[in-house]
């Protein structure tokens, strides 16, 4: 993890702010692009040039806010998710690149005096669909149980992970199947499910019977993976 990102989030936590910061930025982009599309549709319906201007202003502001939104998304990913390459993250990065291309194209067309052209309406529409897809992928991260809770002291759970799991799951990932990382696994949503899975996992993962990991140790490991990952 980049040191300055760690320092930045620790400073925020010292001030009492313990949440992810990407949501505070990304909703600005979403709201402005929704506004741009609505104004453009109204301008098309009522043939009003002032509504075209409103659409363009919303679009330009969305282009400005896109950069801090993407930057904070990358920062949250590094800090809260340890920079693991989930397929969902890959999709969000690809869509973010597409959104920047669309925003850049729209800004160029506007400067050339084509803000009222039908092509701009398509750009507004594609931007709207793109941020909708980005929101869907962001929501899927939450549904997978990936937590952005503040770091807590889970030293024992961390030690258990490093001694028994880190070799095959460095950084919370999965060496044998990168598409199924430990971090965010549905097996973590419930302690009993996690314990049963740990006792009798699917190959090639070895089993961990009670003589190797007691129930209390499994509980500490579970707590670390669900809530204490940021303290790594």
The residue extents of the domains of the chain are 3-143, 155-231
**Cα–chain-centroid distance for residue 26?**
11
pLDDT given for residue 153 in this prediction: 59
pTM value is: 0.68
pLDDT given for residue 186 in this prediction: 84
CATH 3.40.50 fits 3-143, yes or no: no
Kindly state which CATH superfamily the domain 155-231 is placed in.
Cytochrome c-like domain (1.10.760.10)
Q: What is the pLDDT of residues 177-230, one digit of tens each?
A: 888 888 878 888 888 899 999 999 988 899 999 999 999 999 989 888 887 765
Q: What is the pLDDT of residues 131-186, one digit of tens each?
A: 999 999 988 776 554 444 444 457 788 889 889 998 899 888 888 888 888 887 88
pLDDT given for residue 113 in this prediction: 67
């Amino acid at each position: 993890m980049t040191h300055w990102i760690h320092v930045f989030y620790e400073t925020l936590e010292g001030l009492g702010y313990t949440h992810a910061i990407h949501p505070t930025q990304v909703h600005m982009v979403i709201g402005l692009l929704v506004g741009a599309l609505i104004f453009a549709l109204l301008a098309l319906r009522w043939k009003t040039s002032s509504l075209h201007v409103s659409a363009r202003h919303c679009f330009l502001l969305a282009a400005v806010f896109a950069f801090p939104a993407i930057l904070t998304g990358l920062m949250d990913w590094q800090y809260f998710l340890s920079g693991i390459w989930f397929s969902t993250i890959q999709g969000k990065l690809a869509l973010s690149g597409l959104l920047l291309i669309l925003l850049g194209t729209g800004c160029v067309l506007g400067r050339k005096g084509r803000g009222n052209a039908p092509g701009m309406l398509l750009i507004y529409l594609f931007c709207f669909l793109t941020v909708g897809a980005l929101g869907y992928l962001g929501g899927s991260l939450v549904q997978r149980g990936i937590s952005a809770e503040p770091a807590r002291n889970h030293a024992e759970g961390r030690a258990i992970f490093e001694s028994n799991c880190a070799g095959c799951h460095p950084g919370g990932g999965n060496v044998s199947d990168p598409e199924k990382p430990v971090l965010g696994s549905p097996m973590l949503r419930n302690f009993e499910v996690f314990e049963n899975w740990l006792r009798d996992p699917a190959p090639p993962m070895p089993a961990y019977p009670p003589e190797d990991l007691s129930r209390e140790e499994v509980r500490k490991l579970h707590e670390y993976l669900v809530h204490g990952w940021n303290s790594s």
